[in-house]
Amino acid sequence: MDKKGQKTKIILHIDMNSFYASVEMADHPELKGKPLAIAGNPEERKGVIVTSSYEARKYGVKTTMLVGEARKLCPSLLIRRPNFERYRDVSKHLFSILREVTDLVQPVSIDEGYMDITDITDEHPPLIAEQLQEKILRELEVPCSIGIAPNKFLAKMASDMKKPMGCTILRKREIPSKLWPLPIREMHGVGEKTAEKLKKIKVNTIGDLANKEEYELKALLGINGQKLHQRANGHDDREVDPEAIHSFKSVGTSTTLPEDTTDETYVYRTFRKLAEKVEVRLKRKNVVGQQLQIMIRYSNRKTVTRSRLLQSYTNSKEEISSEAVDLFEEHWDQRPVRLLGVTISELVEKNEAVEQLSLFDYEKVAEKEPLYKTMEELKEKYGSGVFKDAKTALPPIHTSFQKDFLDED
């Protein structure tokens, strides 16, 4: 029981180890025990590593590393293209196994999720975790690590403490000894930029964060600073919500054109404007989405909608715009258009979105990050009107990647 006399929660966080590489090894036994990486363009030295096996990681091969660089570190590295359809199938099987134990299962990405086993009193929690781990390995041939804790944050941190095939308990009384010594960058919810800001105020470990004055963190990071301070001290009252993956609806906007048009340049500019509005609303709600839908209404009032499951979560106007244009080009029948709309759905809170790295997103964002930064600085200084719409359409960006998250049809 906790201090309020309520039953102490028992939360499991299940995290599949090197998921894509592990699935490939399960399907192709000849790959087992060998250094393996998944990359979109294995033939090109500039392709980016999506994930790698633990055998490859021993050589220093890491996610986001260029294929050429990885091969220098590990000349025997084997590289395969990703098979997202197969990964989704394995993911569905994984979550069906978890739901055999309890209905209180919350998927948060293709390869991880939370379980609330508080009310399962007939077995010891570590035994439940070990039996799950063994069943997943037996049926899927994919290893996982499991964290056991009284809340979601601590369970997530616990599952990261021992990989692969770890099973770790993190109790609140163990926070000072197990959690606080860890570098601040290893804390769930602290990205690279946030870590840099925190280090400037001498917050180098999770313990430093826990013992910092909350008002100082709030001044530095806003409401997120307060939330991180609470997490570092072991406080997290979020429930395991099986409906969370479906709980958000959508964010979208549409516009009726001044006149019917077949002008593709005008259509592309319109999609960019719609994407900008959607981005603002997504960021205001602090959510990201993974399903894009466009609406096309023709001059005869016939309306069609077409959707696409994106490879990763986004709230970026650049990505929303390019994907919308791509979808439009794929389905437009060349008749005059009267209305256009863009909607993003499958929404989750930004800090809950755990994405598998997309080569498309990584390479695009890494390449354009300096440009985006400069644009944002100019907007802050001179106002949003400093950039006018281009007179010609941006070339659409194509990607062969599809959604790699749990697709529950």
Catalytic residues: 112
179: Cβ contacts below 8 Å, ≥ 6 apart: 154, 157, 170, 206, 207, 232, 234
Task: Name residue 66's beta-bridge partners.
Answer: 48
Using an 8 Å Cβ cutoff, are 161 and 178 in contact? yes
Buried b (16+ CB within 10 A) or exposed e, 23-33: bbbbeeeebee
* 144-149 vs 167-169, strand pairing mode: parallel
Comparing C-alpha atoms, which of 406, 393, 293 is closest to residue 344?
293
Backbone phi and psi for residue 318, each to the nearest 5 degrees, phi listed first: -65, -45
C-alpha–C-alpha distance, residues 59 and 63, integer Å: 13
- The answer to whether 89 is annotated as binding is no
Cα-based angle 93, 96, 97 (whole degrees, multiple of 5): 90
Residue 174 CA to its chain's centroid (Å): 29
- The answer to whether 15 is annotated as binding is yes
Going by the annotation, the residues of the binding site are 15, 111
Going by the annotation, the residues of the binding site for Mg(2+) are 15, 111
